[in-house]
Amino acid sequence: MSPRPTLLPGEASFSVAMQAAQDGDTAAYRALLRDCVPIIAAMARAKGVRGAALDDVVQDTLLTVHRARATYDPARPFLPWLRAITQRRAIDALRHMGRRPREVHEPLAYEAHADEAAIPGDDLERRDRAAILAAAVAHLPDGQREAIEHIALRELSLEEASALTGRTKGALKVNFHRGLKSLRTLLSPRHEGTDV
Amino acid sequence: MTAWNEEPIPVASRHMRLIDALARGLVPVRQVSSPLQRMLDWLRIIILPGAGLVLVAHLKGALGRHAVEPEFVLAAIGSVATAVTAAAAAILAMFPDRDPRWALLPVPSLTLWIGASLSGASAKHGAPMSLSDACTCVGFILGLGVPFALLLATNLKGGYALYPSLSGGLAGLAAASAAASILGLFHPFATTLNDLALHALAIALLSGAGARLGRPFLGGRM
């Protein structure tokens, strides 16, 4: 077990800001999280996270910092606390990426492997679909729209969506299911040709 | 409308939007009590029913049995130490900046408990225990272990487990060890290997259930 770490010069400001955040100081919290973004990115990069996954790790870490903020002891240095959370989220991201096959080594399989690059016109079609969906979602009541945006489109968990919207998980679930039902109705073939 | 239907939103802007949303929803939080304080709280809670059961137990008989079987004295020490160290490890695991190697804290006492129990039980060659006795032992560990585990889980709330399954498993082990320690005072017959296997099964059940329920109850990947 490592001995109790000591505060590094400059780190005290993080500890003070986090303590203020625990007391509900919004401005200090916002400034702290902003300062943390490049640090989290650097820590995640050091664990081997690259590309778009790096931004996901930053987002996940910020959310975890928010949920775990009561566990921070201002008498202890802030950065090891942040590092432990970032490293865990980085490992989660790497595991998630590891579960998705990305390389094909067998010669035959390599030849038969579908090209994942976009085909001509694909981008245009994707934009059309997104526009139709956007219009349909815009027609939903606020609660349903928020639930669909956060849970289905941004793929946030109920906890994350709840933290972002301030709504309970139960309310989000109800709004999500109602939203899906409304979307099914709005996007069904008999609605084609309407304004949605 | 947001990131998914228009041009991709720059990464920095995504982070700033999240930060703004988190800051807007900020409410004051009370810093969670220290691991030592939490540990003492849990011990106080389980010592109360434990002490009550000791009062009704045939303590003299139990101590007499232990006096002639030194392995079981060691096993009893191991089980009590496992209950304490596993609870400490579970509590420490709820603080993200504590070394994850604290999870290994119960290993020496668990090794002592298992080794001494096996050594004591393998020396006995009595008749296999009856089904009703077996059910009583398992029922005792589960019956006392489940409320102990729930109390410990309540004590862990407010913390944040980066490894929720591990924390849950440790909490289950701590509760089961505490229940098994108290069972030692009531055990009316010498422990045989099949009896020991059933004790182990009950402890494994509680630890497994704790590990399984750790993720939904103790946080982790959101």
**CATH for A17:** 1.10.1740.10
CATH assignment at residue A158: 1.10.10.10
Chain A nearest-CA distance from B31, in A, is 5
Residue A141 lies in a domain: yes
Residue A65, burial from CB neighbour count under 10 angstroms (0-12, 13-18, 19+):
buried
pLDDT of residue B88: 94
Q: Is the Cβ of A152 closer than 8 Å to some Cβ of chain B?
A: no
Whether the per-residue pLDDT at A187 is higher than 70: the answer is: yes
Structure-token pair, residue B7: 């041009």
Distance CA B53, CA B187 (A): 13
Identify whether residues A94 and A126 lie together within a single domain.
no
Q: Which of A105-119, A177-191, B153-167 shows the lowest mean pLDDT across its residues? A: A105-119
Asked if A160 is an interface residue toward chain B (Cβ–Cβ < 8 A), one would say: yes
**Residue A113 distance to chain B (closest CA, Å):** 28
Whole domain around residue A133: which residue ranges? 121-188
User: Is this complex's ipTM strictly greater than 0.90?
Assistant: no
> Are both A93 and A129 inside the same structural domain?
no
Q: Is residue A87 part of a domain?
A: yes
With an 8 Å Cβ cutoff, are A63 and B1 in contact? no
For chain B, residues with pLDDT lower than 70 are 1-12, 57-67, 124-129, 187-191, 219-222
Cβ distance B2 to A23 less than 8 Å, yes or no, reads no
Looking at residue B4, its pLDDT comes to 47
Residue A189 has pLDDT above 90, yes or no: no
Looking at the domain assignment, is residue A161 inside a domain? yes
Domain C-terminal end among A51, A66, A98: A98
Looking at the 3D structure of chain A, how many domains does it have?
Answer: 2
Contacts of B28 in chain A (CB under 8 A): 22-24
Is pLDDT of A6 > 60? Answer: no
Contacting residues of A for B30, CB less than 8 Å apart: 22, 70
**Closest in B14, B22, B162 to A66, CB measured:** B22
Is residue A2 a part of any domain in this protein?
no
Q: Does some domain include residue A78?
A: yes
Residue A62: inside a domain, yes or no?
yes
Question: How many CB atoms neighbour CB A143 within 10 A?
Answer: 17
Q: Does A162 touch chain B (CB under 8 A)?
A: no
Q: Both A91 and A131 in a single domain?
A: no
How many CB atoms neighbour CB A18 within 10 A?
Answer: 24
Identify the closest residue of chain A to B5 by CA–CA distance.
A130
Do A54 and B13 meet the contact criterion of CB atoms below 8 Å apart?
A: no
Q: Is position A194 within any domain? A: no
A88 and A23 in a single domain? The answer is yes
In a domain, A32, yes or no: yes
Q: Which of A31, A63, A98 marks a domain boundary? A: A98
CA angle A48, A67, B30 (to 5 degrees): 135
Mean pLDDT score, A81-96? 91
Residue A192 pLDDT greater than 60, yes or no: no
